[in-house]
């Protein structure tokens, strides 16, 4: 009779007869699944789940039904629109065998058969996915060329998915050309890239190209709403619209923002939380600031800008918000479709504003704010540049409407003098849409004078008093025009005299002029220069003139550098000496002579 010590467990662990039996160990608990971000968790598993790419899905479906499959596909588009997901879906569609194992290629893969599950999990031996960013050389492509000769192990097609294919080297592309043009019948190539312009045309001509579009914000918002429902999280519709707008057509970017917003909130996601998380300016504050600009209240407008800056809102975000408001007013004027990201109060304010502002006023306001946004992006001091841009808008709002001026000049009427306002309106005291159509003419007086000079004027009646003199120019504009150098050459000489000789020397020797219109200057360096050149020049000009300049380095057509101009002038001078009759006679009399030195005065006197 076997004793306890004779049991295998007792013998293996050396237990004695006097030891009590050991309790059975519990089975280990199943390991908890690690958290997957929403962008991976809700990756499309079928073409029906692929949003915003209906044209491509229809083309692929027809090609599969008619057995007109290309041997190479190229998916291009911005990040997060589904390029790699589409490549994997095509791989499943071509290799799906159906639940019963007898199916063929289909646009609706079953996601049940072994090939579908293996491809979805990234473990199928015949579906090779390669990142061209880390496999850029000829040797990596040579491995593919050697492997395509062998048939697929278990799948219908051997498929190579190359992501970010534009990162391959030139030699790697050339090595792939022959195989890509005439691959074996069992091989398919699927390429994905965000920069199709970097892919050689010889590769593009061998592929069937699909341009994946940006996903509309409305579809993204609906998709994010469904994801929120599946996650059991309450998200406000306005918050979803803000996330969809911030995603800029990318489903992955939007899901990443939604993931962050869910973690940021507690139990739900509100529009205020999304704005705070993304650093977006409050829409109500933007509308209030726009009202202050239209009312001409400079102090309150600057205080509003400073308040939003203190809350963490970037100056560029404030100007973008103002541009969005102006765009909303324009859409309201033309009767566009309502934006789901706008609240009811916002749409009502835009509609009222649209009824009071003319198209010309709104378009000029858009141009001025757009110019201000460009200055903020390039300025070394963004907040100060934003303040100057807002002050420019307010200053322009005090100028008369050029259309009204031309009409009065054509009728021979005297021009009225606009008296200065007694006091600016209090912030928020007037409704936002109370600005008159002439509130933002935004046109320089110099643009009116030439047209006005060509119009006939009538003799004023003797009884009428003489017209009052025009209002004095703005002190800021007068100071800027007096302080700004008249030309690019004068600017360089002024910088050299004001303690910036090194910067002046760089501009003189190595920078050609593209455009000079104070307070704007565009230059083209003729050789690689330090990235601090634009910043240093902007700071120097601000200290020189007291005004923020827009300084840019461009690649367009430019004048020769001042050094090149001086050399060309010296060469022309020397050639004029050589072409003079006296010098020609001297060279004829003394063959082999050279012109060592000369002075132009002596040559002219001779």
User: In this structure, what CATH number is given to the domain that contains residue 90?
Assistant: 3.40.50.300
Categorize the per-residue pLDDT at 464 as very low, low, confident or very high, splitting at 50, 70 and 90: very low
Helical ranges in 14-137 per DSSP H = 38-41, 54-65, 83-95, 114-120
Rounded (10°) CA dihedral 348, 354, 356, 362: 140
Do the Cβ atoms of 56 and 210 come closer than 8 Å? Answer: yes
- Domains identified in the chain, total number: 5
Q: Which of 43, 85, 92, 121 is nearest to 210 (CA)?
A: 85
- Do 248 and 357 lie in one domain? The reply is no
Query: How far apart are alpha carbons 205 and 171 in whole angstroms?
Result: 17
Unique residue bearing structure tokens 């933002």 = 440
- What CATH number corresponds to the domain at position 507? 3.30.300
- Do 104 and 201 lie in one domain? The reply is yes
Q: Which of 282, 314, 288 is nearest to 300 (CA)?
A: 288
Question: What pLDDT sits at residue 456?
Answer: 39
- The per-residue pLDDT for range 8-50, each reduced to its tens digit, is 444 343 434 444 455 555 544 445 578 888 888 888 888 888 8
Question: What pLDDT sits at residue 263?
Answer: 87
User: Cis link prior to 228 (omega < 30° from 0)?
Assistant: no
- The per-residue pLDDT for range 285-344, each reduced to its tens digit, is 888 888 888 888 889 999 989 988 887 788 998 898 899 888 888 888 887 666 666 667
Query: How far apart are alpha carbons 474 and 398 in whole angstroms?
Result: 10
Predicted TM-score (pTM) of this structure: 0.54
- Do 109 and 249 lie in one domain? The reply is no
Do the Cβ atoms of 544 and 494 come closer than 8 Å? Answer: yes
Query: How far apart are alpha carbons 108 and 71 in whole angstroms?
Result: 20
Look at 273 and 372; give whichever has higher pLDDT.
372
Question: What pLDDT sits at residue 200?
Answer: 92
The angle at the Cα of 545, spanning 542 to 551, to the nearest 5 degrees, equals 45
Say which residues have a Cβ less than 8 Å from residue 57's Cβ, sequence separation at least 6: 47, 50, 107
The CB density around residue 487, as the number of other CB atoms within 10 Å, is: 10
In-domain check, residue 7: no
Look up residue 600 and give its two tokens: 């132009």
Question: What pLDDT sits at residue 373?
Answer: 92
- The per-residue pLDDT for range 364-414, each reduced to its tens digit, is 889 999 999 999 999 999 999 999 999 998 887 556 566 666 666 666 665
- Do 66 and 203 lie in one domain? The reply is yes
Say which residues have a Cβ less than 8 Å from residue 152's Cβ, sequence separation at least 6: 126, 158, 186
The CB density around residue 256, as the number of other CB atoms within 10 Å, is: 17
Do the Cβ atoms of 109 and 46 come closer than 8 Å? Answer: yes
To the nearest whole number, what is the mean pLDDT of the chain?
78
- Do 222 and 205 lie in one domain? The reply is no
In-domain check, residue 473: no
Say which residues have a Cβ less than 8 Å from residue 193's Cβ, sequence separation at least 6: 74, 75, 76, 83, 164, 165, 166, 199
- The per-residue pLDDT for range 109-146, each reduced to its tens digit, is 998 999 999 998 889 999 999 999 888 899 999 999 99
Q: Is the pLDDT of residue 589 over 60?
A: yes
Q: Which of 195, 197, 162, 186 is nearest to 176 (CA)?
A: 162
- What CATH number corresponds to the domain at position 436? 1.20.272.10
- Do 308 and 239 lie in one domain? The reply is no
The CB density around residue 94, as the number of other CB atoms within 10 Å, is: 23
Give CA separation, 159 vs 67, 94, 167, 235, in Å.
17, 9, 20, 40
Categorize the per-residue pLDDT at 427 as very low, low, confident or very high, splitting at 50, 70 and 90: very low
- Do 290 and 402 lie in one domain? The reply is yes
Residue 228 structural domain: 217-278
- Do 200 and 327 lie in one domain? The reply is no
- Of 172, 194, 211, which one is at a domain's C-terminal end? 211
In-domain check, residue 535: yes
In-domain check, residue 422: no
């Amino acid at each position: 009779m076997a004793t306890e010590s004779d049991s295998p467990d007792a013998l293996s662990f050396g237990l004695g007869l006097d030891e009590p039996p050991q309790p059975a160990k519990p089975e280990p608990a199943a390991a908890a699944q690690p958290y997957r971000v929403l962008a991976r968790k809700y990756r499309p598993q079928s073409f029906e789940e692929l949003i915003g790419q209906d044209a491509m899905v229809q083309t692929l479906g027809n090609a599969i039904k008619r057995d007109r499959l290309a041997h190479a596909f190229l998916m291009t588009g911005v990040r997060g629109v589904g390029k790699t997901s589409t490549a994997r879906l095509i791989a499943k569609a071509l290799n799906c065998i159906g639940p019963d194992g007898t199916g063929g290629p289909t646009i609706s893969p079953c996601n049940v058969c072994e090939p579908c599950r293996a491809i979805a999990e990234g473990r199928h031996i015949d579906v090779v996915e390669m990142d061209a960013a880390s496999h850029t050389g000829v040797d990596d492509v040579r491995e593919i060329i050697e492997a395509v000769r062998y048939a697929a192990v278990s799948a219908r097609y051997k498929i190579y998915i190359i992501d970010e294919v534009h990162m391959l080297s030139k030699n790697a592309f050339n090595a792939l050309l022959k195989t890509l043009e005439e691959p074996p019948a069992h091989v398919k190539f699927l390429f994905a890239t965000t920069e199709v312009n970097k892919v050689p045309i010889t590769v593009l001509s061998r592929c069937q190209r699909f341009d994946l579009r940006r996903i509309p914000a409305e579809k993204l918002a609906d998709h994010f709403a469904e994801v929120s429902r599946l996650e059991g999280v309450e998200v406000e519709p306005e918050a979803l619209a803000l996330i969809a707008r911030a995603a800029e057509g990318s489903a992955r970017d939007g899901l990443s923002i939604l993931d962050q917003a869910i973690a940021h909130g507690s139990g739900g996601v509100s529009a205020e939380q999304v704005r705070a998380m993304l650093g977006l300016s409050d829409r109500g504050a933007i509308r209030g600031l726009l009202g202050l600009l239209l009312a001409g209240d400079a102090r309150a407008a600057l205080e509003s800008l400073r308040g939003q800056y203190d809350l963490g809102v970037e100056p560029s975000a404030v100007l973008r918000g103002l541009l969005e408001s102006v765009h909303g007013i324009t859409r309201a004027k033309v009767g566009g479709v309502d934006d789901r990201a706008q609240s009811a109060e916002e749409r009502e304010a835009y509609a009222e504003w649209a009824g009071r502002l003319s198209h010309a006023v709104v378009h000029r306001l858009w141009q001025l704010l757009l110019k201000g946004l460009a200055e903020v992006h390039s300025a070394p001091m963004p907040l100060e540049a934003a303040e100057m841009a807002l002050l420019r808008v307010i200053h322009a709002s005090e100028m008369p409407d050029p259309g009204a001026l031309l009409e009065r000049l054509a009728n021979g009427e005297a021009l009225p003098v606009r008296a200065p306002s007694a006091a600016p309106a209090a912030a928020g005291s007037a409704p936002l849409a109370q600005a008159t159509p002439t509130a933002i003419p935004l046109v320089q007086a110099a643009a009116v004078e030439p047209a006005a000079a060509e119009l006939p004027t009538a003799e004023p009646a003797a009884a009428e008093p003489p017209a009052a003199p025009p209002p004095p120019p703005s002190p800021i504009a007068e100071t800027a025009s007096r302080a700004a150098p008249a030309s690019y050459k004068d600017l360089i000489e002024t910088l050299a005299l004001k303690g910036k000789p090194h910067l002046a020397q760089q501009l003189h020797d190595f920078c050609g002029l593209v455009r000079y219109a104070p307070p704007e200057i565009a230059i083209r360096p003729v050789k690689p220069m330090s990235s601090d050149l634009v910043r240093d020049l902007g700071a120097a000009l601000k200290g020189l003139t007291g005004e923020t300049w827009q300084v840019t380095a461009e690649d367009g057509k430019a004048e020769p550098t001042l050094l090149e101009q001086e050399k060309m002038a010296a060469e022309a001078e020397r050639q004029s000496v050589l072409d003079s009759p006296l010098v020609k006679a001297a060279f004829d009399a003394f063959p082999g002579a050279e012109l060592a030195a000369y002075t132009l005065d002596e040559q002219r006197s001779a």
